[in-house]
Amino acid sequence: MNAPDLSLLPDMRRDDAGPVFAEPWQAQAFALAVRLSENGHFTWPEWADYLAHEIAAARRAGTLDLGDTYYEHWLRALERIVTDKQILTTRALEERKRCWDEAARHTEHGKPIELADNQ
């Protein structure tokens, strides 16, 4: 374990109860993992292992990890567990991500973003 970095002190300050999720995607990623576990696709201890792995990897990569990147770790853990468990393939995720990107770029501002066809 690294020695405590005292320069980080100001960043550990207490927060007043702000919003639970900073952005909607965090709430969606949160809910997907909880529901998949509740539906029996993985146990919660399995999930905690995946999440802890991502957090440790981020620390090894030298990020400060001040709590604001928590849902980025969460999202990577979710992608890894669904592909490891063969619930979804990496390829399907990448293709679908491209579709959403295309759809967003071609949607007029203010209109809901929708995929052209069922994939």
Partner 1 sequence: MSKHHHNAPLPDTVLRVKALESLLIEKGLVDPEALDELIDTYETKVGPRNGAAVVARAWCDDNYKQRLLTDASAAIGELGFSGRQGEDMVVLENTPDVHNMVVCTLCSCYPWPVLGLPPVWYKSAPYRARAVIEPRAVLAEFGVTLDDDVEIRVWDSTAEIRYLVLPMRPTGSDDLDEHALSGLVTRDSMIGVGLPQAPVQQNR
Residues 74-113 that bind partner 1 (CB under 8 A): 75, 78-79, 82, 87-88, 92-94, 96-97, 99-101, 104-110, 113
Q: How many CB atoms lie within 10 A of CB 77?
A: 22
Interface of this chain with partner 1, residues 40 to 79, rule: CB under 8 A = 41, 44-45, 47-49, 51-52, 55-56, 59, 64-68, 70-72, 75, 78-79
Report if residue 116 touches partner 1, rule: CB under 8 A.
Answer: no
CB distance 113 to 107 below 8 Å: yes
Q: How far apart are CA 59 and CA 61, in angstroms?
A: 5
Burial class (CB in 10 A: 0-12, 13-18, 19+), 103: middle
For residue 100, the minimal CB distance to partner 1 (Å) is: 5
CB distance 101 to 89 below 8 Å: no
Nearer to partner 1, 68 or 84 (CB): 68
Nearer to partner 1, 2 or 84 (CB): 2
For residue 84, the minimal CB distance to partner 1 (Å) is: 14
Report if residue 27 touches partner 1, rule: CB under 8 A.
Answer: yes
First-to-last alpha carbon distance for the chain, in angstroms, is 46
